[in-house]
A = this chain, B = another copy of it.
Amino acid sequence: MKRGNTIFFKKPPRVRSYAAICGSKEREGVIGGYADITLADDMYGESTYEKAECKMLSGAIRLAVEKGALTDGDIDVLFSGDLLNQIISASFAARDFQFPFLGLYSACSTMSESILLAAAMIDGGFARNCVAATGSHFASAERQYRYPLELGCTRPPQSQWTVTGAGACVISGEGGGIQVVNATLGRVRDWGISDVNNMGAAMAPAAADTIMRHFKDTNTLPEDYDMIVTGDLGALGSRILKDLTWEKGYDIAPNHVDCGEIIYKVIEDEFQGGSGAGCSAVVMNSYVFTKMNAGLYKRVLFAATGALLSTVSSGQGESIPCISHAVEFVSV
């Protein structure tokens, strides 16, 4: 069923199992304590950052499948993507498995896009179990999007720190105490921000658009949710989001949490907090789902945001088009 831009699942699929792997900086924070594996060395025994990123993603998928008491033969589709050019982390991770793979690109909103498509495939009757997964690595993202780390460039205060980590969950027709009840599909929003160091400001309008359409389509209010989680707006982007929604009559401040704001212990080098596809992937697939399973949060709206730029588009003077896909979870 569909109302506005929100799709409602007839028999809500479940988050059957989930897993997260995160890096050394991430292990120092609160979230790190909820991850399945935390790395002492972000190279993860590999020779390149990209291979380390792929290994984390593949490992998170493997763990999620195992924690769901499933084997590869039980998985019908893997929905995955990442930040690297041609989503090589996801494609090479998919090579490790025998199940089908549908590649996605939605930048840092990949976690919500993959979950919503997995849930739609299951509720549509086309699959029994799907894996939704994504990840990122600070060092591979820095050198692809910004500068070689060896240059030691100064980071501006509005910048964020790309999370080293990966998360995966198995979405199933049965099993697990968390339902995926509906999803609000994102539209591309572009308010003309062209500062590639200020992703929070660029993405906040997309988050506001999707979250407010979600309230409208589902006939709910912010206070109906125990938590409204955004992916990686960071501290500045979160403030903008709260202002934008408040202006339209929605006060999300009391129960808004941004994964980028909570993933690191100390905001120092990270300035506005964490970012990257791995940011919400790690937080959702460790802390949030664990707290939901424990009954601490019953109803959670998860709206991850993605900045759909490339170094080429920015170099050609384009602003940053952004998107946000939202998924609503209810623990039962």
Contacts and interface: CB of A to CB of B under 8 A. Distances in A.
B84 A7 contact: no
A190 B331 CA distance: 40
Nearest to A190: B95
B101 A50 contact: no
A51 B190 CA distance: 17
A77 B106 CA distance: 14
B316 A95 contact: no
Interface residues of A, number: 61
A254 interface: no
A207 to B, nearest CB: 14
A120 to B, nearest CB: 6
Contact of A125 (B10, B81, B113): B10
Contact of A94 (B103, B107, B318, B321): B321
A100 B186 contact: yes
Contact of A102 (B84, B98, B107, B113): B113
Contacts of A144: 312
Interface in A99-150: 99-107, 113, 117, 120-121, 123-128, 144
A198 B105 CA distance: 25
Given A77-B185, A88-B308, A120-B126, A104 B104 contact: yes
Interface string A25-60: 000000000000000000000011011000000000
Given A2-B127, A102-B104, 19 more contacts: A7-B126, A50-B316, A51-B316, A81-B105, A85-B86, A86-B107, A86-B310, A88-B308, A88-B309, A91-B321, A92-B313, A92-B321, A101-B188, A101-B323, A102-B185, A102-B325, A103-B106, A123-B124, A124-B124
Interface of A: 1-2, 5, 7, 10, 47-48, 50-51, 76-77, 81, 83-88, 91-92, 94-95, 97-107, 113, 117, 120-121, 123-128, 144, 185-188, 190, 306, 308-313, 316, 318, 321, 323, 325
